[in-house]
Structure 1
C-alpha cells in the first residue's frame, strides 16, 4: 500500500513538473514574440522620424529659396503667370540650351516649365560629367533632377565608393570640387547629402554594422570632403542616411540594386548663378 502511494505521488510530481515546464516554454515564446514586435515597432518609428526630418530639412531649403527669389532683379530666372520668361536675356540663354537638348527628352515635357527643367538637367549633367576624369566610364551613374527651386545630383556608388566601403574614392575629388564651387556660391544655401543603399545586408566589412550605418557613414564622408578639403561651411550641410528605404529601382535585380546604391546632393541654388559657375 505504501509503495502505491509513493508511486502515485511520483507520477503527480512528474505531471506537475511537465505542466510547469510547458507553461514556462509558452511564456518564453510569448516574450520572444513581444520582443520581436517591439523591435519592429522601434524600426518603423525610426523610419518615420527619418522621413519627418527629411521633410523638415527640405522645407527649410524651399523657404530659404523663396525668400531669395523675392529679392532678385529682372535678370534672374523667373516665370511670369503665363509661363513666359520675364527677362529677354535669360530667354535667349535658355533657348540656346534647349536647342542642344535631345528631342526625345524634350518630348517628355508637358509644359514650358518642364522644358526649362529638362534643359537645366541636361546642361548641369553634361558639365559635371566632364569632371569625372578617370571615372568617365561610369557617366551613366551620375544623374541630375531639377524641380525648381530644387536641384538633385545623384552620384552612383561606382563613382564615389568601393563596394561596402564608406571611404570616398580619390578619383571622385575632381567632381566633388566642381560641385563645391556651386555650394560656395551662395552662403545662405542649405545643402542636404543623403546616403542610400540597396536591400542586401552588409557582409564585406566588420566596421559597418548594417545599411543604416553604411548610408550614414557615406553621406558623412562626402560632407567631410566638402568641408575639410574644399572649404564648404559645415553649418550649411545636413548629412543623412536612408538605408534601403528610399529605392529608385527594383531591388530584385543586380541592375536595380546598383541604381539604388547612390549618394544624393540636394540644394536650392540660384539657377542663373549655377549655370554661370558650371560654364567656367
Structure 2
C-alpha cells in the first residue's frame, strides 16, 4: 500500500508540474486561436455582407441593362421611323416645289398668250380713239367701246358708225377661232323710261349686248359659239354717276376676250394629274 501511495504521489507531482508549464502556452495558443477565429468570423461576415451587396447591385445592373436594351430597341425603331418620316417630308417638299414650278410655267405661258393677244388686238384694230380702250385686268383682255359710237341714247339699234369699229373687232376674233368673247352691256344709273318691250336698264344692257352679237354673227362672220351675251345694267360703273361726262363713260359695251381659256385650264389639270401619279 505504501508503494502504491508513493507512486501515485510521484505521478501527481509530475502531472502537476507538466500542466503548469504548458498551461500558459496552451492558454496563449488558445487565445491566439480564438482571436484568429474571431477575426475570421468578422471577415466572413463582412464578405457575406459584401457578397449580398454585390448580388443586389448585380441584380439592379441587370435590370437596368434590360431596360437600356429595351430603350435602345425603342430608340432604334423611333430612329428608323423618324428617318422614314423625314424622307417622306423631303419627297413631299420636292413634289410641291415641282408643282409650283409647273404652275409658274403654265402661268407664264398664259401671260405670254395674253401679251401676244394684246399686241395683236392693238395692231389689228388700229384705233386711237379715246372712246375705245384695250386693256388687261386679272389676266383677261377687255375691249371697251363707248356707247356713243354704237347706239343712240336709250336705243339698242346699232349705228352704221359702230359697224366699222365692230368689223375690226370681228377680224381679230375670226383670226383666233379658239377664243371666246363675252359681250357685256353697261348703262348709267338713269332709269330707263322708254316704251316697248324694255322694262329697265337690265333689259337695255342685255338688248345692246345681243344687238352687237347679231351684227358680229350675221354681218361680220363671227361664229356664234364663240360669243356670250351679258348685261350688267348700271351696277359696274367705271366712275361715279355724278356728272354728264361720267355717265357717258359708264354707258359702254365691253367685249371680254378669253384667250384659249379652255386650253389653259386643261394644261393646269394635266399638271395636277401629274402630281397625283
Q: TM-score, normalised by structure 2?
A: 0.49
Which structure carries more helix by proportion? 2
Q: TM-score, normalised by structure 1?
A: 0.49
